[in-house]
Amino acid sequence: MAEDIHAYARHIPISSQKVRLVVDLVRGKDVQEALTTLKFVPNQAAQPVSKVIASAMANAEENFGVSRDDLYIYRIFADEGPTRKWRRFGARGRFKPWLRRSSHITVVLRERD
């Protein structure tokens, strides 16, 4: 059995709360099934998540020689990335903060026995 295969996507300009909704759909599934599922998910976060899973699958094939049919998503999670703080000026000399949140996506694949 090969080691854990990792792939990361950092500074994705979508909040981690929104990415976690998509990530929860594919946790524990086979890689091929997960990519097919993400193709039909309307959320904006589905595209970067599928790119990270595809990258992890390519890492497994190139670096470890593992067939893509034997892979499943062992762990997948979305952490909070840096937040850019912008200002929007409001009434009576005040300003309203705009928080541009970002996230980091991590995928760990394993080979089925």
5-111 folds as Ribosomal Protein L22; Chain A (3.90.470)
One-letter identity of residue 86? W
Examine the pLDDT at 2 and tell me if it is beyond 80: no
Percentage of the chain modeled with pLDDT above 70: 98
Q: Residue 113: its pLDDT value, please? A: 82
Beta bridge partners of 88: 96
Cβ-contact 5, 56 below 8 angstroms: yes
Sequence spans of domains, the chain: 5-111
Q: Tell me what the mean pLDDT of segment 66-94 comes to.
A: 94
pLDDT digits (tens, 9 = 90+) for 24-60: 999 999 999 999 999 999 999 999 999 999 999 999 9
Q: Residue 42: its pLDDT value, please? A: 97
Q: Tell me what the mean pLDDT of segment 92-106 comes to.
A: 94
Cβ-contact 86, 75 below 8 angstroms: no
